[in-house]
Structure 1
Amino acid sequence: MFQALLLTKNPEGATLAEIASLDEAQLPEGEVLVNVSYSTVNYKDALAITGTSPVVRKFPMVPGIDLAGSVAESSDARFKPGDAVLLNGWGVGENQWGGLAQKARVKADWLVPMPQGMDARKAMAIGTAGYTAMLCVMALQDRGVTPAAGPVLVTGANGGVGSIAIALLARLGFEVHASTGRMAEAGHLKQLGAAELIDRATLSAPGKPLQKERWAAAVDSVGSHTLANVCASLKYGGTVAACGLAQGMDLTTSVAPFILRGVTLAGVDSVQAPMARRLTAWERLARELPADLLEANTETIALDGVAALAPRLLAGQVRGRVRVNLGA
C-alpha cells in the first residue's frame, strides 16, 4: 500500500481531493514502477485539484504532472531497479495517474535518467515549471537572441516559470526585466537576477497594436492582454517565447508587430517535447542553476498540504516553486 492524493467527482460534479491508501495493483499499465521521492505543485496541478479547469478528463485521478525518484521494477532494458529518474509531461496527472503519490507506474519512453550533478530533491525544486523556463530560454537562443541585443522581459516573474527564467537568463548575461503583481517581492526577484521590476498592471490591460520598442525578447507565462502588449513592445526582430495562460487563453492583437517589426511569437510546449530536447534542457538545468538559489526559491510541503495550497497558487499567493516530499 502507498499514499496518494486522489481526485474524484461528487454527485454534484465537484472535484474532491483526498489522501488515499492505494495498492500497486490499482496503478495503470507501464513498463516501469517508480518509488517517488518528490513531486511538485504546478499551475496545471492546481487547476486539476480545484476543478477550476477541465485538466482531468477521467476520474479517479492521481494529479501531479512531474515526479522524481528511483526505479523499483522495470521490464524495459533501459532502466533497472535503483536507477534515479525524473518525469514531466506526457499527460501524467491529466490522462494517466501522476506524481503526487509515493508510487507511479509509467511508460519507459517518458522517463529521463537523472542528470549528473542532480538528485530528486534538486530536480523537483526545478520541476516542470523550471524545465519549461529552460525550454523558453532555448527557444530564444535558437532564434539568435543574445545579451547584446538588449533587455529581456519575464512576465509572471514570481511564479515557477518566471522565477527560474530570471535566474537562467541572468546567469547567461542577459539584463532581465521582471513583470510582477507583487512588487513587495522586489528583493527576492533581484536576488534571482532581475535588474528592473515592472508592475504587471502596465501590461495587463488592452493596449495599442504597436508601442515603444523596449525589449529584445521575452518569456511569457501569462497570455491574454499581457502577451499582446509584450509583442507590441518588442524591438525590431525580437522574439517572445510563450508558454502559459495565467491571465487567459485569449490573444487580442494585430499583425503589426510581426509584419512591421519582424517579431517572432515562439510557442513553447513542455508536455510533448521530444526526448532529445528534454535531455538537453535537463542537462543544462543541472549545470546552470546553483543549489542554494534553488533552495531559496523553493517551499517544501508534505502530501497532505497540497490540496490547501492549490487555491493559493491560482490566486498568485505562492512565490517561486513548491516541492512535495513523498518520502518514498
Structure 2
Amino acid sequence: MSFNAILLAKDANTGFSASLNKINKQQLLAQEGDTLIEVQYSSINYKDALALTNKSPIVRQWPMVPGIDGVGKVVECASGRYQQGDMVILNGWGCGETHWGCLAQYTYLKSDWLIPLPNNLTPYQAMVIGTAGYTAALCVKRIVDFGVKPEPGKILVTGASGGVGSIAIALLAKLGYQVTASTSKINDSDYLTGLGAVNIIDSQTLKLAGKPLQKELWSAVVDVVGSHTLANVCAQTQYGGIVACCGLAQGMDFPATVAPFILRGITLAGVDSVMASYDKRIAAWDLLSQHLDGEILAHIGNTITLTECVDSANKMIAGQIKGRFVVDVNQ
C-alpha cells in the first residue's frame, strides 16, 4: 500500500524541500505508534506553516510528514482502546515535529493521543476547529473557570482574524460575552462581526512599547501575539482580570513590568494545547461541540488540497489569510 503525503526533507546538499510524495505502509509503520488511521481531513495551523516554510526550527527529525491536526477512521488499533471504524481526532503531541503527522492519507499514532470525534461534529467541522479552535477553547475555559461573567466588561481577542482568534470570538460570543477583536486586517470587519465581535481595533495600537499601567479596558483577554502586545494588554486589563496567553505571533519576548500583577492583581494564564491531558481535551471539545454551530464553522472554514499546503503556509506566515484552512487529504 502506498499513499499521498507531504514530506519535508533537509540535507546539506539539497537544502530544505516540501513536496507531495508517495509513502509506503512500511515507512509509516516504522514510526512509534499502535493505531493506524485513514485520514479524512487535516488543517494548516501556524506551527504547520512554520514547518512547511522552514521559517522556524519546528521539525526535529528528518524526513517529516507535517500536520499537527487530523481526523479520520481507525483501521486497526493494537492497544484495544479504539475499534476499527471509530472516528478519532488528533491535536498536537509532537506530530509534525518528532513524529509523522496528518498531512497524509494515512497516519500511525499512539492511541493515548487520540480522542473520539464528538457525535454532533462532522469530520470536516472538527478540522475547521482543529488545534487552533481547541486551543481557543482551552483559553475560553480558563476565563470562564476564573469566574469572569459576561456582564462586568469587555473581552479582548488579539490576532482576531487567525484560527485561534476566530474560534475564540465565536465561542465567547455564543457564551454571551462582549468581544472586541484586535486585528491588522481592518478590512476583515465583516468577517469578524459575523463571528460575533461587537468592536474592532487596529492591532498596531498594541504593537509598540507602552506604559506599565494603562487605562483599564478588559475584564479578560485571549492573546495569541505575545511581545509588546501581551505587555500592553496586561497593562490594560481591569483589576482582578485574567489574560490567557497561547501564542507568539509577534515574538517570544515579554517586555513588561510587574505593575499590573502587584497593583491590579491580574492573572497571566499560560495555555498549552500540545501536551494537555485527555480530560482537558475532552472538556475543551465538549465546549466547542455544544456552542459552535455549522453556520459559524462554515463562515470560518476554507478547503484546500495537499498540493496547496505550501502556498497556504506562505500566505499564513505573511499574514494574508483569515479563518481556518482545512486540508482534504484525498483531493
- Cα distance in 2 between the residues matched to 1:254 and 1:114: 43
- Cα distance in 2 between the residues matched to 1:178 and 1:14: 40
Question: Percent of counterpart pairs with the same letter?
Answer: 53
Paired position in structure 2 for 1:210? 213
- CA-to-partner distance for each residue in 1:240-261, whole Å, 9 max, x for gaps? 0000000000000000000000
Residue pairs, 1:60-209, within 5 angstroms: 60-209=63-212
Residue pairs, 1:163-312, within 5 angstroms: 163-312=166-315
Instruction: Note closer, same or farther for the CA distance 1:77–1:237 as it changes in structure 2 (3 Å cut).
Output: same
8 Å Cα contact 1:14-1:51 kept in structure 2 = no
Paired position in structure 2 for 1:25? 26
Shift of residue 14 of structure 1?
A: 3.7
Instruction: Tell me whether 1:56 sits opposite 2:59 in the alignment.
Output: yes
- Cα distance in 1 between the residues matched to 2:243 and 2:296: 25
8 Å Cα contact 1:218-1:239 kept in structure 2 = yes
- Cα distance in 2 between the residues matched to 1:326 and 1:4: 8
Structure 2 residue matching 1:165: 3-state secondary structure: helix
Shift of residue 145 of structure 1?
A: 1.0
- Cα distance in 2 between the residues matched to 1:9 and 1:147: 49
- CA-to-partner distance for each residue in 1:133-174, whole Å, 9 max, x for gaps? 000000111211111221000000000000100000001110
Counterpart AA for 1:252: P
Structure 2 residue matching 1:294: 3-state secondary structure: helix
Shift of residue 327 of structure 1?
A: 2.3
Counterpart AA for 1:276: D
Shift of residue 295 of structure 1?
A: 1.0
- Cα distance in 1 between the residues matched to 2:20 and 2:204: 38
- CA-to-partner distance for each residue in 1:186-241, whole Å, 9 max, x for gaps? 01100100000000011000101100000100000000000000000000001000
Across the aligned residues of Structure 1 and Structure 2, the Cα RMSD in angstroms comes to 1.0
- Cα distance in 2 between the residues matched to 1:10 and 1:49: 15
8 Å Cα contact 1:236-1:261 kept in structure 2 = yes
Counterpart AA for 2:117: M
Structure 1 residue matching 2:262: 3-state secondary structure: helix
Instruction: Tell me whether 1:9 sits opposite 2:10 in the alignment.
Output: yes
Runs of 4+ aligned residues of structure 1 deviating over 4 Å after TM superposition are none
Structure 2 residue matching 1:209: 3-state secondary structure: coil
Q: Which moved more, 1:10-19 or 1:267-276?
A: 10-19
**TM score, norm. by length of structure 2:** 0.98
Shift of residue 12 of structure 1?
A: 5.3
- Cα distance in 2 between the residues matched to 1:106 and 1:133: 24
**TM score, norm. by length of structure 1:** 0.98
Q: Which moved more, 1:251-260 or 1:289-298?
A: 289-298
Structure 2 residue matching 1:309: 3-state secondary structure: helix
Instruction: Note closer, same or farther for the CA distance 1:303–1:201 as it changes in structure 2 (3 Å cut).
Output: same
Counterpart AA for 1:17: A
- Cα distance in 2 between the residues matched to 1:233 and 1:321: 29
Shift of residue 80 of structure 1?
A: 1.0
Instruction: Note closer, same or farther for the CA distance 1:13–1:264 as it changes in structure 2 (3 Å cut).
Output: farther
- Cα distance in 2 between the residues matched to 1:310 and 1:23: 25
Structure 2 residue matching 1:187: 3-state secondary structure: helix
- CA-to-partner distance for each residue in 1:22-44, whole Å, 9 max, x for gaps? 01111112110000000000000
Gaps of 5+ in 1: none
- CA-to-partner distance for each residue in 1:105-132, whole Å, 9 max, x for gaps? 0001001011121121110010000000
Counterpart AA for 1:311: N
Structure 2 residue matching 1:30: 3-state secondary structure: coil
